[in-house]
Every structure is written in C-alpha cells, then in structure tokens.
C-alpha cells in the first residue's frame, strides 16, 4: 500500500539516469532537433499540396476575359499622368477612370504622426466597389495594388494598376458575382493598406500613431484579398508571397489556388523567387528544397510582411501577393498580359464560389517548393527536441537543489544546534534578481522616445543616431554592472535563478512558436547551446568560463543584431572594399532599429517588443550568473 502511495515510486531510476547523463542528453536532443530540421526537406517528410475546400471549383472556371488591349491602353495613359506628377499618386485620373466604369468610388484620407520627429504625413487611398448583383453585399473580395510614383525606390507597379482597371471594367459587365469586389489603390505602401483596413473595421492598430480616418463606403465582410505587384507588361514569371505580419500565413488552399491557376495560365510560378527544380541527384534535390525552406524560415522569423497582403491576416482575411517579373527580350510584346489577366480572373472567380470562409486546410505550414508542404505536426518536433534539453537541464538542477536542501535540513535536525537561515533559499534575493531584470526589459521597450529626445536636445542627433547610441550605451551598462563590484551570491540562490531563467526561456519559445514558429526556431538554435553549459560555480573555472562569457556577450540582442546585419551586408556587397562594407552595415543597422520600432508602433509587429522584454531579461539573468562568484554559505 505504501508503494502505491509513494509518488516517487518507479521514478528514482529515471531521475538518477537524467542526473547522470544530463549534459549529454541535453546536447543530444539539440543535435537531434537540428537533424530533424535538415530532414524536413526530404520528399518523405513532404506532402503534395491539394485542395481541401472543394467549393473553390478551380478546374471548372471558364475564363472569358481578354484584358491585353485594355490594360495596354490604361498603362500608356497612366505613364503619361505619372510623368506629370512624379512625386504623388494621380488621384484625379484614377478616380475618373473608376467613375467611368460606374463603380462606387471613394477617396480615403489618412495621416501618420511620426512618434520621433513630431511631423505629420498625409496620404490618400482610392477604392471602387462593384456591388454583387446576386447577393445582398454580405461578403467581399479585395483586389489591391500599392501605387508607386516614378521616383520610388521600389519596383514599378504601374502595370498592376493598369491590369486592375482593365479587370474592373471586365467585372462590371458580369452578372454572376455573388460577392462584392473592391478595387483598392493605396499610397505609401503598407501604411496605406493598414490605414484602409483599420478604417474598414473601425479599429486602431499599433500605438495610435497612424490615424486611419473614416471610410465613406463599405462592402461586405472581406473573405479574401489578392494584392498585385506586376513590375512590367512583359511578365515571365509570377512569385506568390504568403508571409504576413508576425509570421502569420494565409490558408494553404489560397496558396494552392494561386499556384494552380498560374501553372494553368502557362506562366512560370515560383515561391521565394525560386522555381521548382527536380535534380536526378538526391542530395542536390534535397539541398535545393532545403534552401527554399530556410529562406521561408528566415523571412517569416522577422515578422515583417513581404507585401500588402500580410496586413490582412490579423483581421482573419486570407490574402496573398502575386509579384510578376519582367520577361527578357520582346520589347514591344504584351502578349502574355492576356494570360496574366486570365490568371487573376480565374482566382477571383474561384473565390467567388466560396460558400464560407477558408477553414479546412492548414494555417501553419512550411513550404520547400510550390507543390509540397510540411505540416505543423512534423516541423514542430524539431523545436520541441531543441527545447527539451533546456527543460532537462532545469529539472536536473532542481532535483539537485531539493536534495541538498533536504539533506541540510535532516543534518540540522540530527544535531542540537539551531538551524541557520542561510541553509534554505533566499526568496527575497531571487525575486529581486528576476524582477529587476524584467523591469529593465520593460523600461528599454519604452525608451526610444526618451533616447530620441535626449539625443536631439543634447547633441542635436538624428533619430537613428540617438536610438543606436542609446542602445549601445545600455548594452555597455548591462555588461559592466554585474562585474563591478564583483558579486557574491549564495550557490543555491544562483542555481534557482538559473532554473527559473531556463524554464522561462523554454516556455517563451514554445509560446512564440504557436504564432511564429520560425522566430522561435531561430532563437532556440542560437541561444540553447550557449545556455546549456551555464551553471553557477563556487569559483571561476578559468579559460572555459572566459570563453563562455565571450560567446554569451556575442549573443547579446544588440551585439548579435549588429553582427547579423553586417553579415547580410557582406553577402549583398561582397565585392565592395572592407571599409565600405562596414560603413554600409553600420548605417543599415541604425536604420533597422528605427524600422523595427516603427513597425511595432504602427502595425503591431512584436519582434522588437518580444526581443527586448523577454530575450534581453533572460540574457541578463544568465549574464549575472556568469559574472557572480557563488558560495556555499554567506
């Protein structure tokens, strides 16, 4: 009976095994996680894409449009207007063209109050609505284009606007639409579509610096959106973009629909600007698909949308971007624009067949090619294996601590001396250590405004310089403070802080993975192998401790972000002189900090917030452990 009541019965052997092989098991799980990630690109781990939503009926759509000549006419007229207004969108011309098509046309005004420069920027969106003749305007489909003026640093989208107008003219004559079709032309890239979506749904995203304004007209509940970024009237290939804000992805059925219709239209289709290539050599085939997979993971981890479609996902709207690239040669040929128009028609007509919102297919997936996918049930295991080592480390340290406390208590009971208060945990010290680290992280999250103000008022610095040098000063402060004076902390307290920090990191990574798997995976691959060997020591253990501290400094969020941007700069400008690369990387790093903070304030991208409020405090806790001399008694 006693055996049945003993909770530890049968588990002692497991605990002893974990305690004996703790470090080996931790690194074994990490290596297994990496191996599992490598195996994901193998055909065995990939499933062929298919349609879960039969109501789309993509194979039964009869294409009727011929948008070639109409698009060509609109394109030449638009180019003429753009030359007249090289800095702005030709609002009057666009509104007039949509009005000629007898659409319900509206102009949407929005503004942005820059949080650092105290300046106000304004913009306008133009949209027209075709009301569904066979329904009561309860549902809608969006066709959007980001307008880019002549002097824009981005690739031209004038062909997209021309195709949108031509397609709107075609749609206006059809009577089979069961959903409203809204044609949106936005200004200022993602700012315009974010303001339009906020106004459409009556919400405020971010910190309220983007004033969305009001919409004079609305359609039904938006079911799906197609964003067009055609850069030429001679399109040779179309790349389908899916990554959205904070790593969100559209329903896999929508991606499959686009790829299927593009292939049927006779135009090459790609993902991550990579075409499907089948090598006879199995290793080359795996390596090619693995590179595509890694590119998706790297892009998704940033949380930055790859196009205007990425801002629809937060509203439960499935959206993708079709980016068309120029066809070399045939300078006066517009023939394939006929095919592009039919591709857009077939996608919109398939969406028109939907009886309900997308729900049957996957929302969590990875793509090694255009026609295969990896489900969450497979790829999540790589992250679980990597994080398992952190839990094993924390559990093993906790078992040792509880055993030491129990032994100490039993020894004191067997003697007549009074038990010392120093034999247990100092809860006040432990709580203070953890609390102050996280308070520090929260303060840094809200520091950019203060840093900008101080830099501008004191040294007349620009926003990017104020933030960069402010973060650099904070980094130096976090590195120096634990060193002077040399901290001495009781071993049991330091060990418990290590346990809590390890559990917190593993838990945070799993929570992040539920929304943005790629970000959690990248963070785990970088931080887990460095955390596993960190433990409080009675005395500094020489060179090993010094090397570990050096690598841990390199993993400081500020330091590693500088290194990553420098590496990215070197890859893209490897032929430049070394000093030029350093200069480019330095400026790119400063700008990346400002963009990351602005994305957080305007769109609600939580990459900056998560990094500073969770990863930085955890880094600081482990740095305190590395810099402290632990003692058995105080």
Q: Is 579 helix (H, G, I), strand (E, B) or coil?
A: helix
Q: Is the dihedral of CA 365, 368, 374, 379 positive or negative?
A: negative
CB-based contact 236:328 (threshold 8 Å): yes
Residue 335: per-residue pLDDT: 62
Residue 32 has pLDDT above 50, yes or no: yes
Burial class for 181, CB neighbours closer than 10 Å (0-12, 13-18, 19+): buried
Dihedral (CA of 94, 95, 101, 106) sign: positive
* Beta-bridge mates of residue 146: 186
Q: Crossing angle of helices 376-413/12-20, nearest 10°? A: 100
- Which residues, 6+ apart, have CB-to-CB distance to 53 below 8 Å? 253, 354, 358, 360, 361
pLDDT: is 204 or 147 the higher one? 147
> What is the pLDDT, as a whole number, of residue 151?
87
Neighbours of 434 (CB within 10 A): 18
**Residue 89 gets which letter from DSSP?**
-
* pLDDT given for residue 409 in this prediction: 56
Question: What's residue 26's pLDDT?
Answer: 92
Task: Give the mean pLDDT of 563-586.
Answer: 90
Answer yes or no: are the C-beta atoms of 68 and 337 closer than 8 Å.
yes
Tell me what the mean pLDDT of segment 77-85 comes to.
90
Confidence class for position 110, pLDDT limits 50, 70, 90: very high
Residue 56: pLDDT band with limits 50, 70, 90: confident
Helical (H) or strand (E) element with 163: helix 158-172
The secondary structure element, H or E, covering residue 120 is strand 120-130
Contact between 111 and 95 under an 8 Å Cβ cutoff? The reply is no
pLDDT of the residue at 485: 53
pLDDT at 424: 67
- φ/ψ (deg, to 5) at 228: -105, 130
Instruction: For residue range 165-180, list pLDDT tens digits in order.
Output: 999 999 998 888 999 9
Give residue 66's pLDDT. 81
Give, as one character, the DSSP assignment of residue 420. Answer: P
Please tell me the number of Cα atoms within 13 Å of 1 on its side-chain side.
0
pLDDT of residue 628: 77
CA-based radius of gyration for the chain: 29
Q: What is the mean pLDDT of residues 436-456?
A: 91
| Alpha-carbon span 174 to 153, nearest angstrom | 38
pLDDT tens sequence across 337-371: 888 999 999 999 999 988 888 888 889 999 999 99
**pLDDT reported for residue 487:** 57
| Beta strands, E only, 377-433 | none
Distance CA 156, CA 79 (A): 11
Q: What is the pLDDT of residue 518?
A: 95
Residue 407 is predicted with a pLDDT of: 64
| Residues 6+ positions from 406 with CB-CB distance below 8 Å | none
Mean pLDDT of 298-314: 93
User: Does the pLDDT at position 404 exceed 80?
Assistant: no
Residue 260 CB: number of other CB atoms within 10 A?
21
Question: Given a cut of 50, is residue 145 above it in pLDDT?
Answer: yes
SS3 268: strand
Per-residue model confidence as pLDDT tens digits over 477-497: 888 877 665 556 788 888 899
**pLDDT of residue 237 exceeding 80:** yes
Asked if 223 and 179 count as a contact pair (C-beta separation under 8 A), the reply is yes
The residue that leads in pLDDT, 571 or 117, is: 571
* Residue of 304, 297, 313, 310 whose CA lies nearest to 517: 297
In this prediction, what percent of the chain has a pLDDT beyond 70?
A: 91
The reported pLDDT for the residue numbered 208 is: 78
Angle at 317 between CA 314 and CA 320, to 5 degrees: 100
Instruction: Write the DSSP assignment of 594-614 as a string of letters.
Output: HHHHHHHHHT---HHHHIIII
With contact defined as beta carbons under 8 Å apart, do 476 and 491 qualify? no
Q: Span 67-275+305-353: which CATH code?
A: 3.40.630.10
pLDDT, residue 97, reads 94
CA distances from 283 to 26, 289, 372, 467 (A): 29, 10, 18, 46
**Distance separating alpha carbons of residues 393 and 308, to the nearest angstrom:** 43
pTM of the model: 0.91
Burial of residue 599 (number of CB atoms within 10 Å: 0-12, 13-18, 19+): buried
Residue 2 has pLDDT above 70, yes or no: no
Cα separation of 231 and 240, whole Å? 14
* Overall average pLDDT of the 440-459 stretch: 90
| Pair type for strands 268-271 and 139-146 | unpaired
* Confidence band of 333 (pLDDT split at 50, 70, 90): low
Enter the DSSP assignment of 332.
Answer: T
Residue 266 predicted with pLDDT over 50: yes
Please determine, for residue 590, whether its predicted confidence score (pLDDT) is greater than 80: yes
Question: What average pLDDT does range 376-380 have in this prediction?
Answer: 93
Q: What is the pLDDT of residue 634?
A: 40
Residue 269's beta-bridge partner residues? 238
Complete DSSP assignment for 506-566? HHHHHHHHTT-HHHHHHHHHHHHHHHTT----SS--HHHHHHHHHHHHHTSHHHHHHHHHH
The pLDDT, as a whole number, for residue 633 is 46
Distance, CA of 39 to chain centre: 23
The residue with greater pLDDT, 444 or 417, is 444
pLDDT in tens, 88-108: 899 999 999 999 999 999 999
Position 630 pLDDT exceeds 80: no
Please say whether the beta carbons of 315 and 197 come within 8 A. Answer: yes
Question: In angstroms, how far is the first alpha carbon of the chain from the final one?
Answer: 43
3-state class (DSSP) for residue 144: strand
Q: Where in the chain is the domain with CATH 3.40.630.10?
A: 67-275+305-353
> Pick from 592, 38, 523: which is nearest to 301 by CA?
523
Cβ–Cβ < 8 Å for 198, 118: no
- For range 550-576, the mean pLDDT: 91
């Amino acid at each position: 009976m006693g055996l049945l009541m003993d909770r530890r019965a049968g588990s002692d052997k497991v605990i002893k095994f974990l305690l004996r092989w703790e470090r080996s098991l931790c690194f074994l799980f990490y290596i297994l996680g990496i191996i599992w990630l490598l195996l994901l690109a193998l055909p065995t781990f990939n499933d062929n894409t298919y349609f879960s939503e039969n109501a789309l009926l993509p194979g039964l759509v009869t294409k009727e449009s011929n948008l070639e000549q109409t698009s060509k006419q609109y394109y030449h007229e638009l180019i003429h207007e753009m030359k007249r207004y090289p800095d702005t969108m030709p609002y009057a011309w666009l509104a007039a063209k949509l009005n000629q098509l007898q659409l319900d046309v509206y102009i949407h005004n929005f503004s942005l109050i820059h949080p650092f420069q105290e300046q106000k920027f304004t913009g306008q969106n133009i949209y027209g609505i075709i009301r569904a003749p066979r329904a009561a305007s309860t549902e809608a489909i969006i066709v959007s284009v980001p307008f880019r003026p002549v002097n824009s640093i981005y690739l031209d989208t004038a062909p997209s606007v021309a195709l949108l107008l031509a397609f709107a003219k075609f749609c206006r004559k059809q009577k089979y639409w069961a959903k409203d079709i809204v044609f949106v032309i936005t200004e200022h890239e993602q700012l315009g579509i974010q303001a339009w979506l906020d106004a459409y749904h009556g919400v405020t995203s971010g910190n309220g610096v983007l004033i969305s304004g009001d919409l004079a007209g609305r359609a039904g509940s938006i079911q799906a959106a197609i964003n067009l970024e055609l850069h030429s009237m001679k399109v040779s290939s179309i790349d389908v973009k899916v990554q959205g804000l904070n790593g969100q992805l559209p329903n896999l059925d929508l991606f499959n629909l686009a790829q299927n219709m593009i292939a049927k239209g006779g135009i090459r289709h790609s993902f991550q600007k990579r075409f499907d290539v089948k090598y006879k050599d199995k290793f080359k085939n795996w390596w090619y698909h693995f590179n595509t997979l890694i590119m998706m993971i790297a892009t998704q981890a940033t949380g930055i949308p790859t196009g205007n479609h990425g801002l629809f996902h937060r509203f439960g709207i499935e959206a993708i971007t079709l980016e068309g690239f120029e066809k070399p040669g045939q300078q006066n040929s517009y023939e394939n624009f006929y095919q592009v128009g039919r591709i857009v028609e077939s996608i919109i007509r398939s969406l028109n067949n939907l009886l309900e919102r997308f729900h049957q297919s996957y929302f969590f997936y990875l793509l090694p090619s255009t026609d295969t996918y990896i489900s969450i049930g497979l790829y999540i295991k790589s992250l679980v294996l990597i994080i398992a080592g952190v839990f094993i480390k924390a559990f093993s340290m906790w078992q040792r601590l509880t055993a030491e406390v129990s032994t100490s208590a039993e020894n004191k009971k067997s003697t007549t001396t009074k038990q010392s208060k120093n034999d247990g945990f100092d809860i006040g010290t432990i709580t203070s250590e953890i609390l102050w680290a996280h308070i520090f992280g929260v303060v840094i999250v809200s520091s950019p405004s203060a840093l900008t103000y101080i830099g501008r008022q004191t040294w007349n610095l620009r926003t990017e310089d104020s933030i960069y040098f402010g973060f650099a000063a904070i980094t130096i402060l976090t590195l120096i403070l634990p060193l002077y004076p040399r901290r001495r902390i009781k071993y049991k307290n330091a060990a418990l802080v290590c346990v809590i920090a390890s559990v917190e990191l593993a838990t945070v990574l799993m929570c992040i993975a539920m929304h943005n798997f790629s970000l959690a995976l990248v963070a785990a691959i970088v931080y887990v192998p460095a955390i596993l060997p960190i433990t409080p020591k009675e005395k500094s253990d020489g060179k090993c401790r010094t090397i570990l501290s050096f690598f841990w400094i390199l993993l400081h969020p500020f330091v590693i972000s500088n290194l990553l941007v420098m590496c990215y700069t070197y890859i893209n400008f490897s032929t430049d002189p070394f000093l030029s690369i350093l200069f480019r990387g330095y400026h790119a790093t400063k700008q990346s900090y400002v963009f990351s903070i602005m994305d957080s304030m305007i769109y609600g991208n939580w990459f900056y917030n998560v990094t500073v409020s969770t990863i930085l405090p955890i880094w600081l806790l482990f740095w305190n452990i590395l810099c402290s001399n632990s003692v058995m008694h105080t």
